[in-house]
Structure 1
Amino acid sequence: MEKWAATIIANAISTYALDTICTAAGVLLVASGLLSGLDFRDAVIILALSYLLWAGGLSTSLAANWRLLESTGTSTSLLSKLAYDVAGHWTRRGGIRRTLSAAGYVVFELAKESPYYLGAFGLAFASDVISGEEALVFLAGANAGAAAYEFALGRSTRFLIGIAGKTPYASFEEEWEPAQYLTDYYSTVDADERNTIAFFAEAARRMPADEPALVFGVGPTLHHVFALASRASEIHLGDYLQCNLDEITRWIEGEEEAHDWQPFVRYTLRCEGGDNPSGTAVLEREQLTRAKSTTLLRVDMRNDRPLAGAQQCYATVLTAYCVDSATDSLDDWQACMRRVVGLVRPGGTLLVAALGRTRGYFVGGKAFPSPFLEAADMEKLLRDYFPDSALTVRTVSVPECTPHGFSSIILAEAHGRFPPPTLVQA
């Protein structure tokens, strides 16, 4: 009830503010005389253009409203909040909840427009105070005011969420939910993973063949493992949380409640050159991945021996959205990343994906940390271990992921790791 109470109060305030701004903008535009003398056709064109402006402002507030719903369960739109809650009872798929809540938001905003039409055209038809053209100009001004309002609302909402979300972050040990993470991020192959999987599939062609590979920080996911299966002799999957490894085990053992990774397998095969992979090809890659996933192990990148005391090094190490997704400190990221790089044998390959330029990301409305990493940070660190000629670091924009808390990712591949320095004893 507290979330609904907050939504009702926010809705009342936002509606009053919107009405005030739109009315003032419409009246000022008519009174200014800037568009006086327009014929009806030109006035209609101006009104149509004002709706494009309004749509631009609305896109900003829609993204912010989704983040507000995910992080607090509240909204500035009653209908959006209702759609979000109803969808939450019906499905756990984040994409459906987002679409329905956005539809509720837009419908509610359009409903707020109706009084302006009734008032403007009612006055135009009932009296000679204003003409039909002036009514259209008033509406265009109201739309311009609405656009400014929606943009300001979206930006201020994101700013306030950012302040509130700086601390504390959710606890991985106590608040991480693998099932929620899979639902929010892996119901479909979204833009971030389309780019990541394509990058890894291409980079895997250059990894050492027929040698063991390690996926460090695999999480409860397997979508990056499929690209390694055709090259590695065996694959070891490591994660800090046992609950994530339990999710992996369910898939390896073929349990019914395991997550469905077939869309990601199919996309991986397409990236490898299969234009339209058959169902048989997908099943074969799944079976190959199961067969080659020989070891699941607990890892801790905060430990100088991150493989729980083991000292094995690998020909290929892949770490995706792990080190950067566990701390908000750039210094800690560097220290942990160096430990992960230390698991690559001399001459070996490292494949990395990370969130770019963000302080955190959301899972089930909970904020988890990220150190505002930039490509330059990644490149600077990897140059200490790999030759420039064998190092690729790129930033990819993924604005579709903004509701999750980030809008860019960093992808890196590095080959031919330098041998560690030899200690010379006196």
Structure 2
Amino acid sequence: MVLLHGNDYCDKFSAEIFLKDFWGSLSDLNIFLISNAYVFLNNERLTGHRLLDFGCSPNLLGEIIAPERFTDIVMADLSPSNLDIIRRWMDGQKINFKWDHMLKFAAESCVMQMCQSGLKRKIAHLKTSVKKLVNCDAKKELPLGPDYVEAFDVVFTSFCLGSAAKSVAEYKQFLKNVASLLPSGGHLVMCGALNQMAYIVDNKRFHHLKLSMSDVKDALCNAQFEILEYEFECITLPESEPPEYSVFVLLAIKV
């Protein structure tokens, strides 16, 4: 089976099947990501109201668990079809996926204590706080293009850089490019995979760089980040190669 990568996401990646297979139920992976990323995004050390979700895929993970003080959110992805799923949902159009189970789990497990009316309010807040959907490319020195000169307060990124980079050297450079979107004192919340080499969506194999935690730490140091906290866990996922690998969530500050 051909290993897909890069611009293959623009015409060979099925956003709807990805959502169904990876986010259609509350797997151990999803529970780990939601629970830990929520803690880090709601950490009292994070300030400001501008949040960038870099490499968002067709997913609302970062937006669902972000505190409501983030009122200026930009969602960015390489694939136009991924952004189109988000755009259609925001416009109230019908898509073949619902995020209700994620919202409810986040509400129950993260002590958000939302009733049904609170969940509706959260959805309404998401649709007003996401200000822009833009294309991004981690390979570029200006990954959002030259129009974005204002820095963000927080960058959230989930599995993007490991999928984009073909080598550890590229991973370091791509993280450095993303770091340029944060000022000194800005925060990064990053989710990623360790020792994963590929994952399957719609019977298509997509590349993932095999990384160790040491590789990730070196890349963060190279991009002038200091890790404040991190968590990792071993996961079994049939759609992954190998099916047993580790995932991490970390909080870092740009120094």
Both proteins in one fold, TM over 0.5: yes
SS state at 2:32 partner: helix
The unaligned stretches of length 5 or more in structure 1 are: 1-164, 419-426
SS state at 1:347 partner: coil
1:314 and 2:152 are equivalent in the alignment: yes
Q: Which structure has more strand as a fraction of its residues?
A: 2
Contact 2:234/2:247 (<8 A) preserved? yes
| Shift of residue 337, structure 1, vs aligned partner | 1.4
Give 2:28's aligned amino acid.
A
SS state at 1:256 partner: coil
Contact 2:138/2:178 (<8 A) preserved? yes
In the alignment, the residues of structure 1 paired with residue 122 and residue 12 of structure 2 have an alpha-carbon distance, to the nearest angstrom, of 33
Deviations 1:253-275 (A, max 9, x none): 12122521111111222233146
1:251 and 2:89 are equivalent in the alignment: yes
Give 1:340's aligned amino acid.
V
Contact 1:209/1:232 (<8 A) preserved? no
| Shift of residue 391, structure 1, vs aligned partner | 2.1
What residue is the counterpart of 2:117 in the other structure? 280
Q: Which among 346, 351, 355 is matched to residue 193 of structure 2?
A: 355
| Shift of residue 215, structure 1, vs aligned partner | 0.4
What residue is the counterpart of 1:329 in the other structure? 167
1:173 and 2:173 are equivalent in the alignment: no
What residue is the counterpart of 1:397 in the other structure? 234
Relative contact order: is structure 1 or structure 2 higher (C-alpha 8 Å, sep ≥ 6)? 2
1:386 and 2:221 are equivalent in the alignment: no
SS state at 2:102 partner: helix
| Shift of residue 374, structure 1, vs aligned partner | 1.5
| Shift of residue 284, structure 1, vs aligned partner | 1.3
What residue is the counterpart of 2:74 in the other structure? 236
RMSD of Structure 2 on Structure 1 (CA): 1.8
**How is 1:96-111 mapped onto 2 (pairs within 5 angstroms)?**
none
Contact 2:232/2:249 (<8 A) preserved? yes
In the alignment, the residues of structure 2 paired with residue 258 and residue 232 of structure 1 have an alpha-carbon distance, to the nearest angstrom, of 27
In the alignment, the residues of structure 1 paired with residue 88 and residue 112 of structure 2 have an alpha-carbon distance, to the nearest angstrom, of 28
| Shift of residue 208, structure 1, vs aligned partner | 2.9
In the alignment, the residues of structure 2 paired with residue 329 and residue 172 of structure 1 have an alpha-carbon distance, to the nearest angstrom, of 18
What residue is the counterpart of 2:24 in the other structure? 187
SS state at 1:398 partner: strand
In the alignment, the residues of structure 1 paired with residue 109 and residue 218 of structure 2 have an alpha-carbon distance, to the nearest angstrom, of 29
Q: Which among 113, 125, 135 is matched to residue 298 of structure 1?
A: 135
What residue is the counterpart of 1:226 in the other structure? 64
SS state at 1:247 partner: helix
SS state at 1:353 partner: strand
TM-score, normalised to structure 1, is 0.55
Deviations 1:36-93 (A, max 9, x none): xxxxxxxxxxxxxxxxxxxxxxxxxxxxxxxxxxxxxxxxxxxxxxxxxxxxxxxxxx
Deviations 1:357-400 (A, max 9, x none): 0111111111101111111111122234233xx5223321112x
SS state at 1:283 partner: helix
Give 1:404's aligned amino acid.
S
Paired residue total: 248
In the alignment, the residues of structure 2 paired with residue 270 and residue 376 of structure 1 have an alpha-carbon distance, to the nearest angstrom, of 34
User: Kindly tell me: are residues 250 and 197 of structure 1, through their superposed partners in 2, closer, same or farther at Cα, counting changes over 3 Å?
Assistant: same
Give 1:169's aligned amino acid.
L
In the alignment, the residues of structure 1 paired with residue 10 and residue 80 of structure 2 have an alpha-carbon distance, to the nearest angstrom, of 10
In the alignment, the residues of structure 1 paired with residue 42 and residue 101 of structure 2 have an alpha-carbon distance, to the nearest angstrom, of 21
In the alignment, the residues of structure 1 paired with residue 218 and residue 160 of structure 2 have an alpha-carbon distance, to the nearest angstrom, of 19
SS state at 1:297 partner: strand
Give 2:197's aligned amino acid.
R
**How is 1:105-124 mapped onto 2 (pairs within 5 angstroms)?**
none
TM-score, normalised to structure 2, is 0.90
What residue is the counterpart of 1:11 in the other structure? none
What residue is the counterpart of 1:269 in the other structure? 107
Give 2:102's aligned amino acid.
F
In the alignment, the residues of structure 2 paired with residue 194 and residue 172 of structure 1 have an alpha-carbon distance, to the nearest angstrom, of 26
Give 2:116's aligned amino acid.
G
| Shift of residue 338, structure 1, vs aligned partner | 1.3
In the alignment, the residues of structure 2 paired with residue 326 and residue 180 of structure 1 have an alpha-carbon distance, to the nearest angstrom, of 20
Contact 1:209/1:231 (<8 A) preserved? no
Give 2:198's aligned amino acid.
G
User: Kindly tell me: are residues 274 and 414 of structure 1, through their superposed partners in 2, closer, same or farther at Cα, counting changes over 3 Å?
Assistant: same
Identity of aligned residues (%): 18
In the alignment, the residues of structure 1 paired with residue 175 and residue 47 of structure 2 have an alpha-carbon distance, to the nearest angstrom, of 24
SS state at 1:383 partner: helix
User: Kindly tell me: are residues 269 and 325 of structure 1, through their superposed partners in 2, closer, same or farther at Cα, counting changes over 3 Å?
Assistant: same
Deviations 1:295-336 (A, max 9, x none): 111111111111121222111000001111223322222211
